[in-house]
Structure 1
């Protein structure tokens, strides 16, 4: 048999039937839903009189619209948002679909909730009406976002008409230096290959630097691959990934441990498999990264300066930089380090996990948020929140002057009541810095949790390595 990439192995193993040379009918092991991409899909089911034949392979989470204000009971006061949440609950009850509802103790962001409860296993195909479904590639699962019409199709058939992507391999050698994180690595990669650099491809990340990452760090890398235009991201499952799943799905370890381990060990690209595109990076050359513009690829190392648009290729790249600098109220040549900020947000499906909060807490411990800066920490799920409180991490943030919030998407995007004001400059651990992403006229600088924490306690974009913190 011709050598195959991991991606093609996953597609082949889930192909129900070929449709043509480029498209297949793909079986979906798990379909995740949220409150804002599912209403029209359910309406289509009602109108056609269809049911959901495999409800157990569908799970819903209320995450994007939910308020995160502290308090035991949460009430969605915005009428349209409340309607979305109540409709999702009604639809899930009608079709017998599991739901992490507004006040569920384990509620959170779908891409944090699913893996932490053992729902994601190597070799699966996982889909969701959200682009950051690529996150699950960290466990060797093919995850990708779908549109509303496709959500209806999956609910009705548990299959999806799928156009086969091209293969890309990104090999990362070396090792990340202390104070440099997975978030810095993926921002560096996006900056080098561009926001469309992986367009049309599923990216397989490999190499010593990837092997050295924790599973939570791998989630961050795969989560943001979509910001380079990738249709999916994969990391071949190793012992770390298998142990992660076994710890969260003990019934598999207990009943099928040896068989699962053997099967999952085969989930890797064959020797001699051909990729359509390949890149190589050295993790040792990566420094803490900060975005300066309105696209994740408009990024620079902490000790670099904002580029002159004239130094960029004439055309879309240069015009995009000019527009971004105007929006962000920045001048070419401005150093990234020392730029004053007014807000800090730590959270999101990119960096709202327990390891992220531990890293940030290690920076703010025995320090204070600078007067004039508002700083927020929003755990990625109820389970993360509870663990952070047990470990004393929450109290570290509270003592430093951070707001300790309830879980949810929160200020990652302006779909709830956590919204930045116009002109407010935010150090954010989220995944997108588009115009208006966190509020109309708001300015977002993407960075790692440790870097965001450093900004909170200094009032400016700061190289966290200069604070003498062991990370």
Structure 2
């Protein structure tokens, strides 16, 4: 008698589901041709990619799937125009405007009500959706993986290929799951979670991997917190970071400008609910972190891996070069170190929830008189919402400058910088040499830690304010 066996499909990771659903063809040599659903450009490289494509006699295959924004070079000072502090910066803006119009793609221009940092406005508008692939010539595109999507940064020539063909050639990375178990303590944020991961496992810890963030502490985060967590997957050297979509994801996206509606929404959500790693799915690498043991983090060196808890000290074995650049010594406590400036902004921590938490600590207080402090909302929409809630008034009354939206002093390429050699505490994602200006010493931290430090005039623990 013939015996029959029931063959069940192998458990599959979320990454494999995203990858497999976009595979167009397996290529000779082991590469894969992947379908690309969305392409986002910015004014620093957008005109170059679009003009190069046109010069080659190729058109954008589907202009409805390509978007551009002015965010990297545009000034954030009130009353801005096309003029910028960056020499030649105005040309980047005007050329991108002309190239976007010629290609027929959507541009969120300097004074468009939907303008903002690409990784902030894409979710706001529902351009990023669960299960889709999105690429942009910016390494922090992985931010958008928070929505259960596969999003990653590419080069300008790759952007041309994606626009012309709707595909890209990639070698498939390995899979990693980083599970944050337990619950975060009061005053500890998603920024502290990702900085802890990088400090413990190194800036190259995720190299060659696509990273799924999971666990109780991740599920407890709101969508903006999840974006902060995924934002710095690139600082971990991961190809991308992402989180399985859930009811919070759907609630955030429903009704957004580019999200499906009606019956299309119902069909889409049925598919999106399948975007989870199956029970017993195998990952190439797994990391477990107890979220309850995480404390507010602060960087001491010139890489995000050079970070410790706010009550910690520079390690004994710290490398000489970052110590020399940062003017610190082994075993030196970070708390109490004088600062010259404070910055709240960037695609890591410039969303409405970030500004709400920061303003709650600032309300009724004034920053130290010697500290130059700037707050740059992540989008024009965030700015309007914050102003409607009176958040801008709290920042101004406390001594912060309140700006228009954009990348601003996240990096020096925009033309504006902090004073040479100054020490800055910042919500940005990178702290390498001269990132925020010539000789500027950048300590990265959460918005809460930036506020506490701006008030004290020295690096300070935000939990002292919350306890008070």
TM-score, normalised by the number of residues in structure 2: 0.96
Task: Output the CA distance in 2 between the equivalents of 1:384 and 1:143.
Answer: 22
Q: How many residues matched?
A: 460
Displacement, 1:12?
Answer: 0.8
Tell me which residue corresponds to 2:431: 433
Secondary structure class of the residue paired with 1:252:
coil
Task: Output the CA distance in 2 between the equivalents of 1:103 and 1:11.
Answer: 37
Displacement, 1:40?
Answer: 3.1
Task: Output the CA distance in 1 between the equivalents of 2:195 and 2:345.
Answer: 17
RMSD over aligned Cα atoms:
1.4
Pick from 107, 131, 135 the counterpart of residue 127 of structure 1: 135
2:86 touches 2:413 (CA, 8 Å); kept in 1? no
Tell me which residue corresponds to 1:2: 10
Task: Output the CA distance in 2 between the equivalents of 1:142 and 1:265.
Answer: 16
Instruction: Select the structure that is richer in helix.
Output: 1
Secondary structure class of the residue paired with 2:233:
helix
- What do the CA deviations read for 1:240-276 (whole angstroms, capped 9, x no partner)? 0111111425862433333222111100112222111
Task: Output the CA distance in 2 between the equivalents of 1:64 and 1:265.
Answer: 35
Task: Output the CA distance in 2 between the equivalents of 1:450 and 1:266.
Answer: 36
Structure 1 unaligned residues grouped into runs of 5+:
310-317
Displacement, 1:467?
Answer: 1.4
- What do the CA deviations read for 1:61-101 (whole angstroms, capped 9, x no partner)? 11111111122656335442111111111110001010011
Pick from 285, 310, 329 the counterpart of residue 327 of structure 2: 329
Tell me which residue corresponds to 1:343: 341
Larger displacement relative to structure 2 (206-215 or 32-41)? 32-41
Pick from 236, 261, 264 the counterpart of residue 256 of structure 1: 264
Secondary structure class of the residue paired with 1:304:
coil
Task: Output the CA distance in 2 between the equivalents of 1:74 and 1:457.
Answer: 34
Displacement, 1:39?
Answer: 3.3
- What do the CA deviations read for 1:351-375 (whole angstroms, capped 9, x no partner)? 0100000111011111001111000
Tell me which residue corresponds to 2:441: 443
> Runs of 4 or more off by more than 6 Å in structure 1?
none
Secondary structure class of the residue paired with 1:468:
helix
Tell me which residue corresponds to 2:163: 155
Tell me which residue corresponds to 1:385: 383
Structure 2 unaligned residues grouped into runs of 5+:
1-8
Tell me which residue corresponds to 1:226: 234
Tell me which residue corresponds to 2:152: 144
Tell me which residue corresponds to 2:249: 241
Tell me which residue corresponds to 1:312: none
2:452 touches 2:462 (CA, 8 Å); kept in 1? yes
- What do the CA deviations read for 1:366-389 (whole angstroms, capped 9, x no partner)? 100111100000000000000000
Larger displacement relative to structure 2 (79-88 or 443-452)? 79-88
Q: Structure 2 matches for 1:286-365, cutoff 5 A? A: 286-309=294-317, 321-365=319-363
Q: Structure 2 matches for 1:88-127, cutoff 5 A? A: 88-127=96-135
Secondary structure class of the residue paired with 1:103:
coil
Secondary structure class of the residue paired with 2:88:
helix
The answer to whether the aligner puts 1:47 opposite 2:55 as a matched pair is yes
Tell me which residue corresponds to 1:84: 92
